[in-house]
Structure 1
Amino acid sequence: MHSDDLILFAHVVELGSFSKAAEQNDVTNSVVSKRIARLEKDLNVQLLYRTTRKLTLTEAGQALFIKAKQVAQATQEASNAVAGFGESIQGHVKMSVPTISGELLLADAVAEFCNLHPGLSVDMSLDNQFVDLVTEGYDLVIRTGHLEDSSLIARHILDSHWIVCASPAYIKRYGRPETPESLVKHNCLQYSYQTTGANEWEFKGAEQNYTVKVSGSFSSDNATALRKAALGGHGIAYLPRCLVYHDLRNGELIDILPQQVGKILGVYAVYPFTRQLPKKLKLLIEHIRQRYKSIEHYF
């Protein structure tokens, strides 16, 4: 009895189809049929009832499937355990990261990773635009938002919460908005990079999130510029919490509508589809994930 036949049998049962198992294992339908037949011959039992519509396990097939699945899992775990061991951590990585995360933690985290692996060099671009990984030759990007390109792989790292904030001086002069709707009476500093629109701020509703259209005298595509304007008492800003974490702690900015802001964006490590992620990228992503997690309370 061949162990690879057991693994193939497990795939056939899990997928419910010879053709799907053939596609997954990159073989023809006839090869799958022959190998299952060989397994049945080796064991001297019938494992499957096969009709044009579905596959049904025999009693012997049900008993074997439990063990075959364990063999398949053990084989995969063994492969995962040594994946990349024969590959040195060297070469070059081209990556793109968001401006806020780049300045907050990624510049330090990636530079640290390079020092841990002297044979590796990294070119890190700080850019909020979602770059074309394949066309522009990026190995890895860190992005906040929603992934639309299904040809890419995205690994979720954490969620980034947004807040509405203003300085004590602004609140003293103009009053504190008590509801999201009351923001329409205030000078709202607008982040023009927002995909939902600079003047559309998202809040939690009873059944679903809704937006409030705000207005103001100042807008920018740079969140740090809006933070500085808010610190100067020039208006109310809608920003990622991580950007103003220390300002909130120091009392230089105040979270105006806690628990009401509805904008939460996932932070992802994104890379082109590959059957086996290079070890240098696998370790770099994990290093970045750990650094994010170490200051998760900022987000």
Structure 2
Amino acid sequence: MDFADVALFRSIVAAGSLSAAARQMGTTPMLVSRRLAALEAELGARLFHRTTRSLSLTPEGEAFLPHAGALIAARDSAFESVSSAGSGLSGLLKVTAPNVIGHAVIVPVVADLIADNPALRVDLVLSDDRTDIAALGLDVAVRVAPMKPSDLIATRLADNPYVVCASPAYIARFGEPATLSDLVSHPCIKLHAMETWPFVRGGEPEQIRIAGPLSASTVDAVRAACVAGVGVAMMTYWDVYRQLERGELKRVALADAEPVELGIWAVFLIRAHMPIRVRAFIDALRKRLLAGAAA
């Protein structure tokens, strides 16, 4: 099987059309179509439903997609095992992560890796949307969430609990909520993606509806408003750890409930044949997160 054709298949999935994949690769749609047809003939299965207006994976294409990623990863790992010994990391590392933790943690990690490994290249996609790492051909996704069963493999890197917080100026003016019932009477800053705030009370999960003068679409905006004293906010620890360290925000502890615990996870398609650069990135990220949590 031609690895270039397998990589082409993944490129078509990520690009969404033959013509878009051809433009990205600097070739013609006709050549892309011929190579795809050759791969389908070798597999004995049609990988895409194709019309003049749309392109979508067949069930066979859906099934082959993770295996295509595994084949490419195994090829890269094989090359690295004989070409990178003693010369550092090399090749292209493709990572996606949420915006806030991406800027605060991921960028410094990849900057250090690049400084120590001149042959390494990194493609970093920062987005708060859940991305399809198989379709986009990504090596690893960093996610802040409780993980659910899936076809992906995940390794927990660090704890990342929700934190209820407010600025010292806000607390001096309005006081500090002591219980859940106190909290709902305070002006709260709402993140659009969080319709309710998750707590655990008496060992049972409980969702609290909050209200306040401001709602915002990004964590950055919620954090800035909280620092400015607009109200109480709930964000994850790694969204606000710098502000907590500097005293710009204060953690609010409730007597009758605790915010839900989340984790920071590295998510990838396969564990076997993982490229050395991916393992090095995950190890470096875990080390930085653990060092930050201990600080």
SS of 1:177's equivalent in the other structure is coil
Is 1:232 the counterpart of 2:228 in the alignment?
yes
Q: 1:256 aligns with which of 241, 252, 275?
A: 252
| DSSP-derived class of the 1:135 partner | coil
CA offset at residue 203 of structure 1?
2.0
Change (3 A) 1:207 1:261: closer
Supply the distance in 2 between the matched residues of 1:134 and 1:101 (Cα, whole angstroms).
Answer: 22
Measured in 2, the distance between the counterparts of 1:274 and 1:157 equals: 15
The corresponding residue for 1:55 is none
> 1:167 Cα deviation (Å)?
1.6
- Structure 1 residues 149 and 83: CA distance shift in structure 2, 3 A: farther
Q: Deviations over 1:170-225 (max 9, x none)?
A: 2233222121122221211011223xx2xx11222113121221111211221121
Aligned partner of 1:270 in structure 2 is 267
After superposition, the Cα gap between the structure-2 partners of 1:204 and 1:218, relative to the gap in structure 1 and judged at 3 Å, is same
Rounded to whole Å, the distance in 1 between the matches of 2:113 and 2:183 is 44
Alignment pair present for 1:285 and 2:269: no
Contact map agreement 2:189 2:212 (CA 8 A) in 1: yes
Describe the superposition over 1:15-51 as per-residue Cα deviations: whole angstroms up to 9, x where unpaired.
xxxxxxxxxxxxxxxxxxxxxxxxxxxxxxxxxxxxx
- Aligned partner letter, 1:281: V
Other structure's SS at 1:288 match: helix
Q: Which shows bigger deviation, 111-120 or 247-256?
A: 247-256
Q: CA deviation at 1:258?
A: 5.4
Listed as ranges, the gaps of 5+ residues in structure 2 are 1-77
Q: Helix, strand or coil for the counterpart of 1:204?
A: strand
- Residue 210 of structure 2 is matched in structure 1 by 214
Structure 1 residue 87: deviation in Å? 4.8
Q: CA distance change for structure 1 residues 274 and 246 in 2, over 3 Å: closer, same or farther?
A: closer
In structure 1, the partner of 2:185 is 185
Task: Name the structure 1 match of 2:243.
Answer: 247
Q: 1:212 to 1:134 in 2, by over 3 A?
A: same
Residues 1:123 and 2:123 are matched in the alignment: yes
| Partners of 2:164 and 2:259 within 8 A in 1 | no
- 1:99-178 residue pairs with structure 2 within 5 A? 99-148=99-148, 150-178=150-178
Q: CA deviation at 1:241?
A: 2.1
1:201 paired to 2:225? no
**Aligned partner letter, 2:237:** R
Q: CA deviation at 1:285?
A: 1.3
The 1:117/1:205 distance shift into structure 2, 3 A limit, reads same
**Alignment CA distance shift 1:274-1:105 (3 Å):** closer
Q: CA deviation at 1:84?
A: 6.1
C-alpha distance in 1 between matches for 2:270 and 2:241: 35
> Identity of aligned pairs, percent?
29
Secondary structure in structure 2 of the residue aligned to 1:136 = coil
CA distance in 2, matches of 1:219, 1:87: 52
Letter in 2 for 1:144: V
2: CA distance between counterparts of 1:250 and 1:277? 39
Count of residues in correspondence between the two structures: 213
Deviation track 1:125-146 (CA, whole Å, cap 9, x = no partner) reads 1112120011112111111113
What TM-score, normalized to structure 2? 0.66
Deviations 1:64-116 (A, max 9, x none): xxxxxxxxxxxxxxxxxx99643523211211012121121210111111221
Equivalent position of 2:64 in the other structure: none
Match of 2:25 in 1: none
Gaps of 5+ in 1: 1-81
Q: Distance in 2 between matches of 1:280 and 1:99?
A: 22
Deviation at 1:247, TM superposition (A): 2.6
Distance 2:280 2:83 in 1: 12
> TM (normalized to structure 1)?
0.66
RMSD of aligned C-alpha atoms? Answer: 2.2
After superposition, the Cα gap between the structure-2 partners of 1:234 and 1:175, relative to the gap in structure 1 and judged at 3 Å, is same
